[in-house]
Chains A and B, each alone.
Chain A
Amino acid sequence: MFSHRLAPLAGLAVVAALLPLALTNNFLLNIAIVAGFNAIVCVGLNLLIGFAGQISLGHAGFFGLGAYASAVLVSTYGWPPLAALLAGAAAVGGLAFAVAKPILRLKGHYLAMATLGIGIIISIVLKTETKITGGPDGMPVDSFSLLGFAPYGERAWYWIVAALLVLAVWGALNLIDSPAGRALRAVHGAEVAAETLGVDTAGYKVMVFVLSAVMASVTGSLSAHYLGFITPGASDFFRSIELVTMVVFGGMASTFGAVIGAVVLTVLPQLLTSFHDYEAMVLGAILMLTMVFMPKGLVPTLSALIAPRRQV
């Protein structure tokens, strides 16, 4: 069991450790870092969508709230960055908890619309409260520092993101293979049956929603410090859909699928610069084609072809 479970994680760690050798300039490192941030959010989102079978079309809102919490508390009020990050995570966790209970009673399109509504309201607030957030033009963010140490440059940030990604994946794999994780998957598999076996389905849905929201928030905070600047666009509907696309494309109910989906869909647009005008068309096409022809996503579909009957 040990090697079966941890081998892919070790593989990820090795790839992450060796990758900088191939990333020879800051431009490439930057792409890797952004891909890493997206991957962390997607690992959390995948727990919600792929494993628990729920949906969220507003997760970029939580990301944006975390980013702005850090930006505002650090740059405007002079808080230490770590405290701001934790405060943001706590606030987002609290918000997610408050809305989760009534919303996660809903299913299907209703749940999708409710999460969409929350995401859009957050995004509108961030865009409108110009005095606090700088409005549609965004605001600058001071750099991250902890106990005097401040990561400077792409390489430093790369190691931070890589380490956090490996940690996030490890945590997700642990969760999935635990009683709580099985309970979560049972909610997706047959909710009524799970209830009769003692699983507090409502509680677990709330838990995974809050967990994925907090992961998005923390990632948002760090991303804000890395980029040095944030705009409300980081929290808008399109960004939420991008995140869902990454999860869906890479593979729902597959942690590595989420990572791969994030990496592919972050790297691809960057590498094809003339792509930019067609970005929306391609994203839309990917969504449609994936769900019609590869509804389980890239990684599960491939692994079913390569090694049938093996679990990912």
Chain B
Amino acid sequence: MIDAASPAMMDTLAQAAPAAAERTAPLLRVENLSREFGGVLAIQDLSFTLPKGRIVSIIGPNGAGKTTLFNLITGVYTPTYGRILFDGRDIAGLPPYRLAARGMSRTFQNLQIFFNMSALENVMVGRHLHLDRGVLAALFRLPRLVRKDREARDLAAELMREVGLAKYIDAQASAMPYGALKRLEIARALAAEPKMLLLDEPAAGLNGTESREIDELIKRIAARGITVVLVEHDMKMVMGISDHILALNYGRKLAEGTPGEVSANPDVIAAYLGSMA
């Protein structure tokens, strides 16, 4: 069972949420985006917008370019062509660490947990931009740094409780099971107080119960005004929680719209060769 979040933490997270009135303005706008790998166009002339404060899912068959798109948005790859506007500003070509400062946070399809640290420390790295980052302050252990670190540790513990990892608060990351680590990554990404959270296959490798818990977690995150973008294969989850869906195939946009619109789209049905719940 997932513990209720503390009021203090709710406040912290709520402060990061944009006001309700701003929720309809697009947070992310992609224009004519293309990315080439050795002659193959992984993403071709892609254009779409993502509104604020929604849960958006990106779907498509394997090889459709979903993770590539993720990597382009989060600065891991640079576009071959096109623009990416986050919060109104062009971010194409910015290194990932600058995008974090702009309010973007993500998790990874193949876990990128810091196995050389404890679970708590993993989440604390998420707070990096909010803490005293300097080396001299660190070497001499200045009081302000110590105080902020203590606060960060408390916040990290709260976040771990929020995502259902209360029993792992004192654990080493290397001792935790796969499902817990997926949620640890989410806690870590949340610690950064992002405007937009990108989740790359958060339900991958999880069983039915765990998937439902992730479902609930995503809804709670979105309820605080954080835009959540997911890449996911689990169609039940996608159709159940998404406000907006973007369907890709062969690097191109196949369809865009509400779950109802997208699941009724004949091109989408054809691309998947199967039914969607």
Contact = CB atoms under 8 A, between A and B. Distances in A.
Interface of A: 171, 174-175, 177-183, 185-186, 188-190, 192-201, 207, 211, 253, 309, 311
B96 A196 contact: yes
25 contacts: A171-B140, A174-B140, A175-B139, A178-B145, A179-B131, A179-B138, A179-B149, A180-B135, A182-B125, A183-B133, A189-B114, A189-B115, A192-B96, A192-B108, A195-B100, A196-B76, A196-B104, A197-B100, A197-B105, A197-B126, A198-B100, A198-B128, A198-B129, A311-B118, A311-B172
Nearest to B114: A189
Nearest 8 CB-CB pairings of A with B: A189-B114, A198-B100, A178-B138, A193-B112, A195-B96, A190-B112, A198-B129, A179-B131
A194 B175 contact: no
Contacts of A192: 76, 96, 108, 112
A186 B114 contact: yes
Contacts of B129: 197-198
B97 interface: yes
A185 B114 contact: yes
Contacts, number: 111
A114 to B, nearest CB: 22
Given A182-B117, A192-B96, A193-B112, 18 more contacts: A175-B135, A179-B124, A179-B131, A179-B152, A180-B133, A180-B137, A182-B124, A186-B117, A189-B116, A192-B112, A195-B95, A196-B76, A196-B99, A197-B105, A197-B125, A199-B128, A309-B175, A311-B172
B132 interface: yes
B107 to A, nearest CB: 9
Contacts of A178: 132, 137-138, 141, 145, 149
B74 interface: yes
Nearest to A195: B96
B139 A195 contact: no
A27 B26 CA distance: 74
Contacts of B66: none
Contacts of B99: 196
Contact of B116 (A180, A185, A195): A185
B121 interface: yes
Interface of B: 74-76, 95-97, 99-101, 104-106, 108, 112-118, 121, 124-129, 131-135, 137-141, 145, 149, 152, 172, 175, 188-189, 192
A181 B138 contact: yes
Contacts of B141: 174, 178
A253 to B, nearest CB: 7
Contacts of B135: 175, 180, 207, 211
A199 B117 CA distance: 16
A23 B142 CA distance: 37
A180 B114 contact: no
A153 B52 CA distance: 71
Nearest to B71: A192
Contacts of A211: 135
A185 B113 CA distance: 12
Contacts of B121: 182, 185
A278 to B, nearest CB: 35
Residue of A174, A195, A198, A211 with highest tally of chain B CB at under 10 A? A198
B240 to A, nearest CB: 27
Given A175-B139, A180-B133, A198-B192, A189 B128 contact: no
Given A183-B125, A198-B97, A193 B114 contact: yes
Nearest to A190: B112
Contacts of B133: 179-180, 183
Given A182-B117, A186-B125, A196-B100, A174 B139 contact: yes
A49 to B, nearest CB: 13
A255 to B, nearest CB: 13
Contacts of B112: 190, 192-193
A42 to B, nearest CB: 17
Contact of A193 (B75, B95, B108): B108
A298 to B, nearest CB: 18
Nearest to A53: B116
Contacts of A177: 149
A175 B139 CA distance: 5
A158 B31 CA distance: 67
B138 A197 contact: no
Of the candidates B95, B116, B140, B172, the one having the most CB atoms from chain A within 10 angstroms of its own CB is: B116
A188 B116 contact: yes
Interface centre among A174, A177, A178 (most CB of B within 10 A): A178
B192 A197 contact: yes
Contacts of A253: 116
